[in-house]
A and B are shown apart, each in its own frame.
Chain A
Amino acid sequence: MTTSAMTPPDRHATGLLTKPDEFLQLITPSGERRHDSELDRWVEDVDLDALRALHLDMSVVRRLDTEATALQRQGELGLWPPLAGQEAAQIGSARALRDDDFAFTSYREHAVAWVRGVGPADLLRVWRGAAASGWNPFEHGMAVPQIIIGAQALHATGWAMGAKWEGSDAAAVAYFGDGATSEGDVNEALVFAASFDAPVVFLCQNNQWAISEPVGLQSRQPLARRADGFGIPGIRVDGNDVLAVMATTRMALDRARRGEGPTFIEAVTYRMGPHTTADDPKRYRGEEELASWRERDPIARVRALLEASGADVEALEREAAERADRMAAELRAAITSIADPEPLSVFDHVYAEPHAHLERQREHYTRYLDQFEGGAR
């Protein structure tokens, strides 16, 4: 077990640098609880009830994901980027956040949105093509999901710089994937975060694949080791272990709140599904690989741990199934509640203040539509 993962690189090399193939883990794939002298204290409050709650979270978002994928297949959604396989990385980290923290995510962090209180209709409307985004970021402490790969890492860093200047102990979390680590924006964010000691956690979900490109094309070494070059502690954690992800995120957030600056967490996980519903992963990866990751399922190992701890797992699964069914029903109901947008709303919110050219364009298009029965409606 690596024990010195949090040692800042300006003192001496982290355990990660000497053991690049290892990661921090608190629950083995078979459900055995491992102990770690550094991590344990960050989750000592996670008792059986809390573990049950995490199991429930993960089960519900998995169903959310399955259901949304089905809705895409049925033509109700234009596209859906499934999160299946990444439940622990997202739930473990998002459950570590405070309400006044701010998450800047990519487009796959549905579980983070769910934890941040985003409702079903708000989760789906953008994927239905009915709106440019789903929710008011300030109501959920979560930015509009980002499609440009890695761009949000800089936004998180800027937000964190501002929080620090105000004397707040709130922190930002930037969620991105392995592919994003090749982008300039992510690297520049690491520079800015380090230079300004910004209270930001870089949470990289290394899900092994950037559409068809394996992580080996992005990096010749574990991604967490990149952090060392920026003077930022890098932690490599089992991203399918909800407890270890929660512990490392809490540790990193605490560091940020104490003014000690950013942390880079590489959560090693796997995208079990396609990149999006438009993708065909059979073209670039084999069933064998998928099968090996199925054995490391993030939900199954928590179930096994709960069972070994004497919890009534059948009752737990019944509750999970009920909650998941309810979520699925809510999603289906939500789809029908999403109204098609009004034609002239294409002009809304381009600017916060009136813009003469756009007003003229809107007026002209209104006149055009008015020729038809029902006009602009």
Chain B
Amino acid sequence: MTALTLGGALNAGLRRSLAGDDRVVLLGEDIGTLGGVFRITDGLKAEFGAHRVVDTPLSEAGIIGTAVGLAYRGYRPVVEIQFDGFIYPGFDQIVAQVAKLHYRSRGNVRMPITIRVPFGGGIGAAEHHSESPEAYFAHTAGLRVVACSDAADAYVMIQQAIASDDPVLFFEPKRRYHVKGEVDESASLADAKPLGVASVVASGTDVTLVTYGALVQTARDAAIAAQDDGVSIEVIDLRSLSPMDLTTVASSVRRTGRLVIAHEAGQQVGLGAEIAASITERCFEFLEAAPVRVTGHDIPYPPAKLERHHLPDLDRILDGVDRALGRPNSLSGVEA
């Protein structure tokens, strides 16, 4: 085991994928000489060459569209979108081409493209640098969408995403890039937890708390804090947002009877709504209370000085847990 930051684990995972398959190529803005604005690709151009780690012109549609052509040619392109809010110029190529070409070609053309996206807020950044656009992609048939939350998962999941014959939107919790964790660099991918399976990261009996990305750490902290209050929270790191491992969530909710979903993205038509509806369909008779969503507000991402009023934090999550438990909370007495 090696202690690596989440960013370092991604770097190590990318290195292993590049070394293991010469069809893997990295494309993105500033990913070569600079090593990426977050240094996730640091040293890879020097190690593998300018044709494997490619600094591209500043065009997200261009990067993704040429990745489609490279996939046609048999490559496994790994694209870096510099920041979450920069993905939209590439949206058409992602949803109209990357997502649909396998279907459109009746299985003849595979799109094993990994699109890496640093996502989420909490870093005091300028506009367009803190967004959570994952629901757009989870809504799109043909894409797989995953989010890693710690170094060990980051290391394995990035390699699994690259090895997948389907396109994968790979969301990286940028405010956790520097968080260290133990990584087993010798581990075989074959033995690893499959990409589409959720993890129960804290066991509990009173409430099931589902989240992903940067909020997994916040949720674990909330679970520890709740123990002092005598509340036992089971935390599930969803890991995969399309498909979602609702089997794991449902099995937990059948035991706890209560469900809280937390994400940084806004509430309207978000993943929380999908999880709440799906779990209600599957576990209606087990639910002791309506599912609760703790999410970002339905606003454009706010200026840095306001982001603490937008991002769900430990206290807001616990307030949601209280709601699920029918304990006094901020909305007590307010009609639903």
> Are the CB atoms of B166 and A351 closer together than 8 Å?
yes
In Å, the complex CA distance between A287 and B135 comes to 51
The verdict on A349 contacting B106 (CB below 8 Å), with A157-B65, A191-B62 known, is: yes
Q: How far is the CB of A180 from chain B (nearest CB, A)?
A: 13
Q: How far is the CB of B146 from chain A (nearest CB, A)?
A: 13
> Are the CB atoms of B57 and A195 closer together than 8 Å?
yes
Q: How far is the CB of A353 from chain B (nearest CB, A)?
A: 6
- Most chain A beta carbons < 10 A, residue from B68, B71, B75, B92: B68
**Does B74 have its Cβ within 8 Å of any Cβ on chain A?**
yes
> Are the CB atoms of A158 and B57 closer together than 8 Å?
no
Which residues of chain B from 245 to 266 have a CB within 8 Å of any chain A CB? 245-247
Partner of A138, one of B89, B108, B141, B144: B108
Partner of B103, one of A151, A160, A192, A350: A350
> Are the CB atoms of B65 and A102 closer together than 8 Å?
no
Interface string of B25-51 (1 = CB under 8 A from A): 100000000000000000000000001
In the bound complex, residues from chain A placing their C-beta under 8 Å from that of B270 are none
The verdict on A137 contacting B109 (CB below 8 Å), with A188-B61, A350-B103, A351-B144 known, is: yes
> Are the CB atoms of A154 and B243 closer together than 8 Å?
no
Interface size grouping (class) on chain B = 35 or more
> Are the CB atoms of B66 and A161 closer together than 8 Å?
yes
Partner of A156, one of B61, B69, B107: B69
> Are the CB atoms of A154 and B56 closer together than 8 Å?
no
Which residues of chain B from 76 to 111 have a CB within 8 Å of any chain A CB? 77, 89, 92-93, 96-97, 101-110
> Are the CB atoms of B66 and A184 closer together than 8 Å?
no
> Are the CB atoms of B57 and A355 closer together than 8 Å?
no
The verdict on A155 contacting B72 (CB below 8 Å), with A189-B62, A352-B110 known, is: yes
> Are the CB atoms of A353 and B164 closer together than 8 Å?
yes
In the bound complex, residues from chain B placing their C-beta under 8 Å from that of A349 are 102-103, 105-107
> Are the CB atoms of A172 and B69 closer together than 8 Å?
yes
In the bound complex, residues from chain B placing their C-beta under 8 Å from that of A132 are 103-106
> Are the CB atoms of B106 and A192 closer together than 8 Å?
no
**Does A348 have its Cβ within 8 Å of any Cβ on chain B?**
yes
Q: How far is the CB of A12 from chain B (nearest CB, A)?
A: 26
In the bound complex, residues from chain B placing their C-beta under 8 Å from that of A151 are 65, 92-93, 96-97
Binding site for B on A (CB under 8 A): 102, 104, 131-133, 136-138, 143-144, 148, 151, 153-163, 165, 172, 184-185, 188-189, 191-192, 195, 348-353, 355-358
In Å, the complex CA distance between A350 and B56 comes to 29
In Å, the complex CA distance between A355 and B167 comes to 12
In Å, the complex CA distance between A351 and B164 comes to 10
> Are the CB atoms of B59 and A191 closer together than 8 Å?
yes
In Å, the complex CA distance between A143 and B97 comes to 12
> Are the CB atoms of A148 and B102 closer together than 8 Å?
no
The verdict on A159 contacting B73 (CB below 8 Å), with A148-B92, A188-B62 known, is: yes
In the bound complex, residues from chain B placing their C-beta under 8 Å from that of A355 are 144, 166, 196, 242-243
> Are the CB atoms of B243 and A165 closer together than 8 Å?
no
Q: How far is the CB of B111 from chain A (nearest CB, A)?
A: 8
In Å, the complex CA distance between A154 and B164 comes to 23
> Are the CB atoms of A351 and B72 closer together than 8 Å?
no
In Å, the complex CA distance between A358 and B107 comes to 16
18 further interface pairs, Cβ-Cβ under 8 Å (given A137-B105, A154-B61):
A133-B105, A137-B72, A154-B68, A158-B66, A158-B68, A159-B70, A185-B65, A188-B59, A191-B57, A192-B62, A192-B66, A348-B103, A350-B102, A351-B102, A352-B165, A353-B165, A355-B144, A358-B141
